[in-house]
Structure 1
């Protein structure tokens, strides 16, 4: 991800900028270049009863990367499209939320099951419980020692008088 849906620009034109566009977007998004998909959509536009060329429009579907990266990505896409001699184009972003995105039937926000990992987690939780018990025992022993040492000093003072 990101996934660019490109309308109104010929696939041959997109092919000529695809390597440099993808490399720059991968750098901006800090992701491998094979995470980025460019799709050229064949569209037919109609106006006033006639077929007309589709307006250059790029829709970017992705997970939120913040306003700064989004602004930089929009500028990058616009610059590459204009390098084709296209005088104007529009870029729009559609933000996906991991809780609403599924891959192979699994919600992206859910961790993948890993038996080794769950076993390690269980071991850490058990060790944590053991340490809590030891700490509780040490606190009780410390309180008992403080109480008995206080009584001993009181008894000592009483006997001295």
Structure 2
């Protein structure tokens, strides 16, 4: 995800921009490049009883990533599509809800998966807290021994 449905641009033209477009979108969306799908739709536009050329229209289907990422993604897609010589292009976003998205018949936001992730995060948090406590104790012990060592040396120096 995201899944780009592209109309009005030939598959051959999309091939020209695909690597750069996917690389940039992967960076913006913070996802692997192989999660991005470009799909060229063969469509025919009709106006006033005639078949007319379609204009570039890209529909982006994805899980919401916030307004700023959406703005950057729209600019990125527009720039790459118009680099093919098109005077204009349109981009629209369709937002998927995790509760309404299924993969292999399983809801993406299934409670079980959420519980497993939460449990793993809690275990990792607990482990990190224990490591932090051990490090703090070792640091305090080290500081205490160096202070007492320094104090005894200072004491010996002053006695002489």
State if a TM-score over 0.5 links the two structures.
yes
Q: Distance in 2 between matches of 1:10 and 1:46?
A: 17
1:28-84, Cα deviation, whole Å (9 max, x unpaired): 000000000000000011000000011210000000000000000000000000110
| Correspondence 1:10-29 to 2 at 5 A | 10-29=10-29
2:69 maps to what in 1? 69
Provide structure 1 residue ranges, at least 5 long, that are not aligned to the other structure. Answer: 125-161
2:87 maps to what in 1? 87
Q: Distance in 1 between matches of 2:7 and 2:95?
A: 19
Q: Distance in 2 between matches of 1:87 and 1:109?
A: 41
Structure whose alpha-carbon radius of gyration is higher: 1
Tell me the C-alpha RMSD between the 2 structures. 1.7
Moved over 2 A (4+): none
Provide structure 2 residue ranges, at least 5 long, that are not aligned to the other structure. Answer: 124-160
Q: Distance in 2 between matches of 1:42 and 1:112?
A: 40
Report the count of equivalent residues: 117
Displacement of 1:26: 0.1
Calculate the TM-score normalised by the size of structure 1. 0.69
Q: Distance in 1 between matches of 2:80 and 2:112?
A: 37
Q: Distance in 2 between matches of 1:14 and 1:111?
A: 39
Calculate the TM-score normalised by the size of structure 2. 0.70
